[in-house]
Structure 1
Amino acid sequence: MKRVPKAIDINVKNSESIARLSKAAKNGGVDTIVMIPSHKPIYDKLHLAYNLKRAQESHINLLVAIEGIHDNKLSNISILKKRGASAIYINSDEDMNLIKRVFEYAEFLNIPIFVNCNNKVLSNAVMNDSKIAYSLGVSGIPNYAESAEVAKIYELSNHFRAKVVFSGISTKESIEILKNKKENIFVDVCIDNLYFTDEMLKDFNTLYKTFPPLRSEEDRVTLLKACEEGTVDFISSNHIATNNKDLPIEEAEFGISKLDIFLPLAYSLPLKKETVTKLISTNPAKLFDIEINDYVNLQKGEFEVDLNNFASKGKNCPYKTLKYKIVE
Structure 2
Amino acid sequence: MKIKVPKSVDLNVKNSESVARIAAASKNGGVIAALMIPKQKPIFDKLHLAYNLKRANEENFNLLVAVEGIHEGKLSEISILKQKGASAIFINSDEDMNLIKRVFEYAEFLDIPIFVNCHNKSLSYGVMNDSEIAYAMGVSGIPNYAESVEVAKIYELSSHFNAKVVFQSITTKESLEILKNKPENIFIDVCIDNLYFTDENLKDFNTLYKTFPPLRSEKDKNALLKACEEGLIDFISSNHIATNQKDIPFEEAEFGISKLDIFSQLAYSLPISHEIITKLISTNPAKLFGIDIDEYMEIELGEFEVDFENFASKGKNCPYTRVRARII
Decide whether the 8 Å contact of 1:122 with 1:145 is kept in 2.
yes
Q: What per-residue deviation string (whole Å, max 9, x for no partner) do you get for residues 79-98 of structure 1? A: 00000000000000000000
Identity of aligned residues (%): 75
Name the aligned partner's letter for residue 150 of structure 1. V
Provide Cα deviations, 1:141-167, integer angstroms capped at 9, x if missing partner.
000000000000000011000000000
Q: 2-side partners of 1:49 and 1:322: how far apart?
A: 39
Provide the rounded CA distance (Å) in 1 between the counterparts of 2:292 and 2:170: 26
Secondary structure at 1:66 match in 2: strand
TM-score scaled by structure 2?
0.98
Equivalent residue, structure 1, for 2:250: 249
Quote the Cα distance in structure 1 between the aligned partners of 2:251 and 2:112.
37
Distance in structure 1 (CA, Å) of the matches to 2:203 and 2:299: 34
CA distance in 2, matches of 1:72, 1:293: 41
Alignment of 1:141-290 (within 5 A): 141-290=142-291
Output the CA distance in 1 between the equivalents of 2:304 and 2:117: 33
Residue identity in the other structure for 2:234: D
**2:297 maps to 1:323:** no
**Per-residue CA distance 1:258-304 (angstroms, 9 max, x = gap):** 00000010000000111100000000011001111110011112111
Give the corresponding residue for 2:310.
309
Partner of residue 68, structure 1: 69
Offset at residue 248 of structure 1 (A): 0.8
- Rounded to whole Å, the distance in 1 between the matches of 2:34 and 2:288 is 13
Moved more, 278-287 or 315-324: 315-324
For 1:27-176, list aligned pairs within 5 A: 27-176=28-177
The separation in 1 between residues aligned to 2:127 and 2:226, in whole angstroms, is: 27
8 Å Cα contact 1:66/1:88 also seen in 2: yes
1:43-66 CA-to-partner distances (Å, cap 9, x unmatched) read 000000000000001111100000
Aligned length: 325
Deviation string, structure 1 residues 109-144 (Cα, Å, up to 9, x no partner): 000000000001100110000000000100000000
* Ranges in structure 2 where 5+ consecutive residues have no aligned partner: none
CA distance in 2, matches of 1:211, 1:180: 26
Q: Distance in 1 between matches of 2:159 and 2:131?
A: 32
- Check the 8 A contact 2:270/2:327 in 1, yes or no: no
Counterpart Cα distance in 2 of 1:270 and 1:147: 26
Q: CA deviation at 1:324?
A: 4.7
Question: What letter corresponds to residue 191 of structure 2 in structure 1?
Answer: C
Give the Cα separation in 1 of the matches to 2:220 and 2:291. 32
Is the CA contact (8 Å cut-off) linking 1:106 and 1:162 kept in structure 2? Answer: yes
1:121 partner SS? helix
- Two-structure CA RMSD over aligned residues (Å): 0.9
Q: Distance in 2 between matches of 1:52 and 1:11?
A: 17
- What letter matches 2:93 in structure 1? S
* Amino acid across the alignment from 1:41: P
Letter in 2 for 1:223: L
CA distance in 2, matches of 1:315, 1:185: 34
1:12 positional shift: 0.2
- The code of the aligned residue for 2:231 comes to G
Are 1:264 and 1:323, in contact at CA under 8 Å, matched by a contact in 2? Answer: no
Equivalent residue for 1:299?
300
Structure 1 CA distance, aligned partners of 2:269 and 2:64?
26
Quote the Cα distance in structure 2 between the aligned partners of 1:68 and 1:216: 32
Distance 2:31 2:82 in 1: 24
TM-score w.r.t. length of structure 1: 0.98
Alpha-carbon contact 1:13-1:36 (below 8 Å) kept: yes
Counterpart secondary structure, 2:43: coil
Question: Any conservation in 2 of the 1:207–1:245 contact (CA below 8 Å)?
Answer: yes
